[in-house]
Structure 1
Amino acid sequence: MSHASASQQHQLTQRDSVAALTLGALGVVYGDIGTSPLYTMKEIFSTHTGVPLDGQHIIGVVSVIFWGLMTVVTLKYVTLILRADNRGEGGIMALTALASKAAGSTHSRRVALLLIGVLGAALFYGDSVITPAISVLSAVEGLEVVSSTFKPYVLPISIGVLFGLFAMQRYGTSVVGKLFGPVIVIWFVTLAVFGIRQILQQPAILAALNPLYAIAFLWAQGAHVFIVVGAVVLAFTGAEALYADMGHFGKKPIRLAWTALVLPALALNYMGQSALLMRDATAISNPFFQLFPDQLLMPAVFLATIATVIASQAVISGAYSMTKQAMQLGLLPRMQVHFTSVKEIGQIYIPSVNWILLVGVLFTVVGFGSSSAMAGAYGIAVTVTMFITTLLTFFVVRHAWNFPLALALGATGLFMTLDALLVVSCSFKIIEGGWFPLILGALIFTIMATWRRGRELLITHIQQDDPELLPSITALSEDSMHRAARTAIYAVANPDTVPQALMHNLKHNQVLHERNLILTVVFHDVRWIDDKERIQVEALVPGFWKVKVNYGFKNEPDLPKALERCEQHGLPINLFETSYFLSREIVVPTKGTGMAHWRELLFAVMSRNSRSVADFFHLPNNCVIELGTRVQI
């Protein structure tokens, strides 16, 4: 093959790859924001907002939505935030790691940025409960437009769809995932086509493209603007997914999907609903489904239900990924993780998270009863997360990219002001249901903060009385005690003190192995660590080595596989003649210093129920010896 033809083939392959990733991004990234037209217009003109349903106000509302999409999504996320990647990875956890590393000139600043990021991550879980509930319920409510006789069945059908969605998670998304992109393409094309159909009948709505109508509308609202914006924000929910899924698809496919299809389809559909309302105010009962002629209503409800299931799937998968990252960054206890694809390491299933989410979603659906009632709860968690993302981005622009302070403030100041407006506006909905995701977020934040602080206290107490490693093993290497002809691996958090398991082994078994590895596993705040950087080996005294294993927060920890690389560093290990000595700490809460007693009790419960170290690191069960230690904190 000639050089020219090889180059052409490479370009074709690249184009095919971008096309495939763009199609995938449509299904995963834009499912949430793509289903917002189901309920947004209905909520903006609901009785509690007090917005008159006349031509002037309808044009003003859709102008605010259009320019909000242009500013909040296009300029902020697609143009700016997607540049703030942590080695190709996006999302609140990756951004937190990047910002704290770049701006962490002092310990207190690093801790403050970490806590802010953890709060954003905690609120994401609240969104993971609300999104499936409101999306699926709003789609199934389309049956009420078909016939009022379906009204008693909306709630049971919604519960059945959601239960089926969560029950199928154990089988993975590899098969269903292939359908996500094409179905969402059909969905967005449908949004655009039926939006255009109404615009052609009422072209006056195109005046909304003039931003002056948006400004005039907001200015005319006075103090009432916060109530209105609190409803308009429903059109922007899901924007955070653009950044969160950057590691899966890359910047180019996400940007291409937004500009080529998603933004035009959303704009045309919102304008189409507005054009319909200008002609027929009675359509406000459900303006989205009123776009369709009667004979197409049932297919529209079916398509909307499938689209909302896809949107929900994206949020659920995001919750799994967030949990895995949080575990490896030391913010949550170890949990069982199933990998559902042999090809894609990002496709995982975490049973405990799945069933907790299902319980939360079902309680939400039953408790609120309708998408309108739930709209009050939706938005506050999303907008706070959006504000935190902008705040962390400022530190990245200022300290990681080394932009002047004035330029960093200029790049993020406008978005921070808009985000603050959205947060304040949504705060008016706290009484109506906004308290729900905030309480969920507060619970998750408490759990994360308690686990991290508890682990710090636990390690500190363990190490208080541990002797220094080097003097101790120097004395041991000169001792004439019996040596077992095997390799012993001691997993420790601090490689500079004698492992508890080693001291227990000497005390109770009075034996020392011929080869002893003091093993430390470090999870770095980067996405991946390459295999060539996986292992570091340091010889200490005869019979003792320090081994450091490095992982990124998206790597799958597999210690036996990693230890095979020790041979490249002059330390061959026969894994069939190796024993892994682990210390299992039994936490004993005590009143006094440390944490509040109730937090210590919570930490003790989490520690007792966390997944075993052996399972987490894929250690062979027949080679693991666990030695228990009671530790007071």
Structure 2
Amino acid sequence: MFCFNILPEDCSETTIFATLLLAFQSLGIVYGDIGTSPLYVFSGIFDTPPTDSRDVIGILSLIIWSITIVPLVKYVLIVIKADDNGEGGTLALYSLLARHSGLVIHGETRKDDLTIGNYDAVSISSNKDKPNFIKRSKKVQIVLLILVMLGASLVLGDGLLTPAISVISAVEGMEVQAPNLEKAVVPLSCVIIVLLFMGQQYGTDKVSKCFAPIIFLWLVSIALIGIWNITVHPRVMRAYNPYYMFDYFTRNGHRGFEVLGGVLLALTGVEALYADIGHFNRRAIELSFTPMVYPPLVLVYMGQAARIIDDPTVVSNTFWLTIPQTGFIYWFIFILAILATIIASQSLISATFTVTHQAMRLDCFPKVKVVHTSSHHRGQIYIPETNLTTAFGVAVASVMLITTFLLTIVIHAVWKFHKVFSIAFLSIFALIDGAFLSSTLQKIPDGGWFTLAFALVVASVMGIWKWGTTLRVEYELKNKIKLDDLFMDDEYSGTTSSENENNSSASNKISNVNLQDEAITSTVITSTTITIRQSQRKQLRLLGSGLEVQRLPGIGLFYQDSGLGVPLTFSHFIQHLPAVPETLIFISIRPVAVPYVGEEDRLVVRKVRQYAGIYKVIARYGYMEPISQSHDFIRNLIEVIRTIDPEQNSLKPEAKPEDQAITYVLSRQKIVPGASNWMREMALRFFVFLINNSREPHSNWKIPSEDNIDVGMAIPL
């Protein structure tokens, strides 16, 4: 079967059908915002009825070319190709740049996750490559981080305003047929928004299946209405000629520049289009916009312009005064508009979920509970003193410009295109985005201040959280220790031998690794046909005091975040209580970028060679899986340890987890702000406040409370 480039490489009928189905479902999530813009664009542009038909044609030309250049060319054809493991948005761009520049996001590299998925913290920059300008300059890294946090904050602000402006614009339609219901607009809008948020628990996948047919019907309806209106003044179709756009600027001067803020309303939702690709995929977005979204938008705006030329007074409520006033048709469109604007809100709610989740993964946001409702795709207000459309425009234009700057760097640093292409992209789209932003910034006193204030507050929270988290990681790295720093090297037990069965077999994989500068050689074994037994230290004595460390029956799990060296919790614990279980495990919980992890890939167990009964463990979980450290997990862990270390006498084959003493040791760190200037101290105190009010990572790991020990320790920063 012949395949177009836009379709997946696997061109089976099943794959094509699945992609087309996703493209249809994307209508219900991605395009609700931009699809409902015709409700308020022309009314937001014209304060008074226009007296010159050339102005209407010129503005229509601006709208058409803006929709063509920004959503279609910039986002659908270029920007969405810069996804990070299937996710979009400004934070995804930062993660993409960081990995390709060799920057470590979480304080460690995670090469063992390459067998499961391209986890965000894995750097794909070779050590042999010359460091790019991002890697070489700390200032550039800080500027990039500030830009992406501001962009993410603006998307959150956009999500705050979208339900208000979209739903209210639709509900206002009942005023045309029933003027006495004017006072019910705001209360009814509030009820609709509350119901919308109550429906989020059912997940993007289920919501999109319900919403997609509605948006499809909405797009078909506005296209038909547009065609019906175009017949009133067919000459509006000449607005496709960009001459009328430039003619409008020439004749109106500064007034023409101010109009750009209203034209920008036709582009609302473009950033959601990019951020929501994680809920679907890139090809689904490409397939859906051009044939199903772009034509209806152009037709409806043409139809509205034709009616304005015929009767300029309709600008007071353009959409509702340019649809058939026949009772059944009017109220059918009214109900459809209400449903469509609910969906418009959903697109930004989905984008807000994506941004929040990405921010947490990049350590830029406090931990909150995230419930994934789809195993196939990760990514699934009334302010009386504020001009909502103006505040809305500032958010949209700002995010568009930030995306342009970041993608300019991606084109050169990630896609490896010549600088000429980056400069060309920046020259074209920064000029366009900058013009839109400049136009909206003129109206900051009229409402634009709200978006900027909200974004600055959120960005400040993200910045302080990122800064504090970085300080904490740096402290752990600086104070990282190895077991030889804790125990004396004076007693050994065991024998040395080696058995190798079918050593040349491709299925047998064994490699020596250095555990992040621990100076502890371990063995990673993924096949059970190789057994290694070497001299091991079973008896432990504390270095310095010589105090003997008692080995108690049972299993002890010491949890650590970074996976580097020995957990600080263990060092703190052993100095105060010199006793450890016979089976001692340093464990890291690692989320990976796939929905589920097979049991064969769940555990990576590294046996610390010099010490008997001590292991390093990585437990990997997909984003759809609940993290569980219950007895079933312990049972699987014991089986793996027995496989790689059959000489471990403390783990008998007949022993069951429920019959053994199992201790889960978790860290409860207390940040202690050090003596410094008052600004730094205040920032640290706010960071502590965020920690105290954020969700504990292990709160839903199903750890038996009776077996849990919290080890408190002070972290001076």
- TM-score w.r.t. structure 2 length? 0.78
Distance in 2 (alpha carbons) for counterparts of 1:588 and 1:382: 40
Matches within 5 A, 1:139-158: 139-158=170-189
More helix by share: 1
Which of 339, 350, 368 is residue 317 of structure 1 equivalent to?
350
| Residue of structure 2 in register with 1:303 after alignment | 336
Identity %: 33
One-letter amino acid of the structure 1 residue matched with residue 244 of structure 2: Y
Equivalent position of 2:699 in the other structure: 615
How many angstroms apart in 2 are the aligned matches of 1:596 and 1:230? Answer: 39
Paired letter, 2:226: G
Q: Cα distance 1:409–1:616, how it changes in 2: closer, same or farther (>3 A)?
A: farther
Pick the aligned partner of 2:613 from 540, 543, 546: 543
Alpha carbons of structure 1 residues 558 and 280: separation in structure 2 relative to 1, 3 Å: same
Q: Supply the AA of the counterpart residue of 1:512.
A: V
Q: Which residue of 1 aligns with 2:136?
A: 106
Residue among 457, 460, 467 paired with 1:453: 467
Offset, 1:366? 4.3
Tell me: CA distance 1:614–1:112, structure 2 relative to 1, closer, same or farther (3 Å): same
Match of 1:357 in 2: none
Number of the residue aligned with 2:510: none
Aligned-residue offset at 1:209: 1.1
Q: 1:611 Cα shift?
A: 1.0
Match of 2:555 in 1: 487
Give the direction of change, closer, same or farther, for the CA distance of 1:414–1:156 in structure 2 (3 Å limit): same
The correspondence for 2:569, drawn from 501, 504, 510, is: 501
2:509 aligns to what? none
Conserved? CA contact 2:277–2:379, under 8 Å: no
Match of 1:558 among 627, 636, 645: 627
> CA 1:606–1:12 in structure 2 vs 1: closer, same or farther (change >3 Å)?
same
Q: Which residue of structure 2 aligns with residue 599 of structure 1?
A: 683
- Structure 2 residue aligned with 1:62: 60
Partner of 2:531: none
Contiguous gaps of at least 5 residues in structure 2: 1-9, 102-133, 490-536, 541-547, 646-650
Which range is displaced more, 164-173 or 24-33? 164-173
In 2, the alpha carbon distance for the partners of 1:575 and 1:197 equals 73
Distance change in 2, residues 1:571/1:290 (3 Å): farther
SS of residue paired to 2:167 = helix
- Check whether the contact 2:280–2:379 (CA below 8 A) recurs between aligned residues: no
Give, in angstroms, the shift of residue 345 of structure 1.
Answer: 6.2
CA distance in 1, matches of 2:68, 2:639: 55
Q: 1:355 matched to which residue of 2?
A: none
Output aligned runs, 1:317-466, within 5 Å.
317-340=350-373, 343-344=375-376, 346=378, 361=381, 364-368=382-386, 373-461=387-475
Residue by residue over 1:426-454, the C-alpha shift from the partner in whole angstroms, topping out at 9 and shown as x without a partner, is 11121111111111111111111111111
Asked if structure 1 preserves the Cα contact closer than 8 Å seen for 2:539 and 2:549, the reply is no
Shift of residue 115, structure 1, vs aligned partner = 2.3
**Stretch of structure 1 that moved more, 540-549 or 76-85:** 540-549
Letter in 2 for 1:399: A
Give the partner amino acid of 2:74.
K
| Paired residue type of 1:88 | G
Other-structure match for 2:663: 579
2:312 corresponding residue in structure 1: 281
Provide the rounded CA distance (Å) in 1 between the counterparts of 2:390 and 2:601.
49
Query: Where do residues 68-79 of structure 1 align in structure 2 (5 Å cutoff)?
Result: 68-79=66-77
Residues 124 and 556 from structure 1, CA distance in 2 versus in 1: closer, same or farther, beyond 3 angstroms?
A: farther
The aligned runs of 1:3-402 (5 Å cut-off) are: 11-47=12-48, 52-103=50-101, 104-106=134-136, 108=138, 109-294=140-325, 295=327, 296-340=329-373, 343-344=375-376, 346=378, 361=381, 364-368=382-386, 373-402=387-416
Aligned to 1:298, the other structure's residue is in SS state helix
Question: Residues of 2 paired with 1:565 and 1:87: CA distance?
Answer: 30
Q: Return the index of the structure with the highest Cα Rg.
A: 2
Which amino acid in the other structure matches residue 338 of structure 2? T
Report the CA distance shift for 1:571/1:157 in structure 2 as closer, same or farther (over 3 A). Answer: farther
**Contact 1:86/1:527 (CA < 8 Å) preserved in 2?**
no
Contact residue 84 and residue 393 of structure 1 kept, 8 A: yes
Distance 2:595 2:428 in 1: 33
| Structure 1 pair 382–13 and aligned structure 2 pair: CA distance change class (3 A) | same
Residue 294 of structure 2: SS of its match in structure 1?
A: helix
Cα offset, 1:218, TM superposition:
2.5
Aligned pair count reads: 601
Alpha-carbon distance in 2 for matches of 1:143, 1:246:
35
Higher relative contact order (CA 8 A, sep 6+): 1
Q: Verify the 8 A CA contact 1:102 1:395 in the aligned structure 2.
A: no
CA displacement at 1:418 relative to structure 2: 1.0
The amino acid across from 1:16 in the alignment is F
Question: Cα deviation per residue 1:486-539 (whole Å; 9 max; x = unaligned)?
Answer: 222222245455434324443554421112222334668x77897677654433
What value does the CA root-mean-square deviation take over the aligned residues? 2.9
CA shift, 1:393, in A, is 0.9
Amino acid at match of 1:22: A
2:366, 2:12 → 1: CA distance? Answer: 45
Q: Calculate the TM-score normalised by the size of structure 1.
A: 0.87
> Deviation at 1:610?
1.4
Alpha-carbon distance change, 272 to 66 in structure 1, aligned in 2, over 3 angstroms: same
Q: Go from structure 1 to structure 2 and tell me whether the alpha carbon gap of 1:401 and 1:464 turns closer, same or farther (over 3 Å shift).
A: closer
Kindly state the Cα deviation for residue 462 of structure 1 after the two structures are TM-superposed: 5.6
Residues 473 and 299 from structure 1, CA distance in 2 versus in 1: closer, same or farther, beyond 3 angstroms? farther
> Partner letter of residue 627 of structure 2?
D
On the 8 A contact 2:405/2:430 being kept in 1, the answer is: yes
**Structure-1 separation of matches of 2:371 and 2:344:** 22
For residue 374 of structure 1, report the CA deviation from its aligned partner.
Answer: 1.1
The 2-side partners of 1:221 and 1:537 are apart by: 71
CA distance in 2, matches of 1:240, 1:575: 50
Letter in 2 for 1:487: I
8 A Cα contact 2:621 2:627, kept in partner: no
**Any conservation in 1 of the 2:557–2:585 contact (CA below 8 Å)?**
yes
For residues 127-171 of structure 1, give each alpha carbon's deviation from its aligned partner in whole angstroms, at most 9, with x where no partner exists. 010111111111111111112111111111111111222233334
Secondary structure of the 2:585 match is strand
Q: Secondary structure at the match of 1:487?
A: strand
Structure 1 residue 550: Cα displacement: 5.9
**CA separation of 1:99 and 1:225: change in aligned 2, threshold 3 A:** farther
Q: Aligned letter for 2:185? A: V
AA matched with 1:32: D
Pick closer, same or farther for the CA change 1:314–1:484 going to 2, 3 Å. farther
1:511 and 2:579 aligned:
yes
Which range moves more in the overlay, 175-184 or 562-571? Answer: 562-571
**Alpha-carbon shift at residue 297 of structure 1 (Å):** 2.3
Instruction: Quote the offset at 1:321 in angstroms.
Output: 2.4
Q: Residue 597 of structure 1: CA displacement? A: 2.9
Please say which of residues 535-544 and 312-321 is displaced more in the overlay: 535-544
